Amino acid sequence: MDKKEKRSPLRSPSFQDSIFVGLCSAGLLAYSLYHHYFDRNTSEWKTSPYLFPTLIAVFGLLLTVSLIADGLRECRAGGEEKKAGGRKNFVGVLVLIAAALAYYFLLPLIHFIPATLLFLAFLFIYLGERTWWKIVLLTVIATGLIYVLFGIALHVRLP
């Protein structure tokens, strides 16, 4: 007999998403109801600032049901839909986010030009540029060009 591999609902992406959407919607509903009934500034529902968020939350809960249905369908389909595609670089994503956060905190401390030089040089090296003179040249030119173009020519305030 040709049996399809059974999957736990928790392993289905739609089911996982439904948990997240359900929790967010329930939280928004609780928040809206609480503030509507206990805030001093709110009056009737028709003018309440929490009317529309309540509607959004209810709609979110309905979508949770729809996602659960999608998840159950995925489970019934079994393990047949494994995603194709090459190797994914998740570490690269984490490194870029970390570098961006470091840049975010460095900007107010050491100002735009030094922080940008460090940020660009690090990313050029990390993403695979190995020729040192190219790294220096690109970093300096990109930083200088952006500073002149945005900061001086277009009068955009730089961080």
Partner 1 sequence: MSSIVASLSYFLDIRFILLCGAGSIAGLFVGAIPGLSVTMATALLVSITYTWPTNDALATVMGIYVVGVFSGALSAILLNIPGAPSSVVTTLDGYPMAKRGEAYKALKYATVYSFVGSLFGLIALALLAKPITSIALKFQPMDYFLLALFGLATVGSLTTQSFSKGLVSAVFGLFFAMIGMDSVLGTPRLTFGINKLNSGINTVPALVGLFGFAEVLSVIFGGNMDAEVNGIVKQVVKIKDILKHFWHSLYYSLLGTLVGALPGAGGPVAAFLAYTQAKSITKNPSRPFGEGAEEGIVASESANNACIGGALIPMLTLAVPGDSVTAIILSVFYIHGLQPGPMFLARSAESFHAILAGGFIGCIFLLILGLLVAPRLSHIIAVPKRILLPIVTLLCVIGAYACNNRMFDVGLMFFFGVLGFLMRTRGYSVAPMTLAIVLGGMMDSNFRRAVSLASSADNKLAALFGRPITMVLLVLTVFSIVTNIPAVKRAWNDRKARRKAK
Using the minimum distance from each CB to partner 1, give the nearer residue, 3 or 40.
40
* Contact (CB, 8 A) for 113 and 137: no
- Dihedral Cα 101, 103, 109, 112, nearest 10 deg: -150
Tell which positions 13-42 bind partner 1, by CB under 8 A: 13-14, 17, 21, 24-25, 28, 31, 35, 39, 41-42
Using the minimum distance from each CB to partner 1, give the nearer residue, 1 or 133.
133
Q: How far apart, in whole angstroms, are the C-alpha atoms of residue 142 and residue 134? A: 12
Query: Is residue 75 involved in binding partner 1 (CB under 8 A)?
Result: no
Q: How far apart, in whole angstroms, are the C-alpha atoms of residue 123 and residue 103? A: 11
Using the minimum distance from each CB to partner 1, give the nearer residue, 2 or 152.
152
- Closest contact distance (angstroms) between CB of 114 and partner 1 is 14
Tell which positions 84-113 bind partner 1, by CB under 8 A: 86-90, 92-93, 96-97, 100-101, 103-104, 107-108
Q: How is residue 108 written in tokens?
A: 């107010």
- Closest contact distance (angstroms) between CB of 38 and partner 1 is 13
* CA distances (Å), origin 90, targets 86, 95, 96: 12, 9, 10
DSSP 8-state assignment for residue 4: P
Using the minimum distance from each CB to partner 1, give the nearer residue, 3 or 88.
88
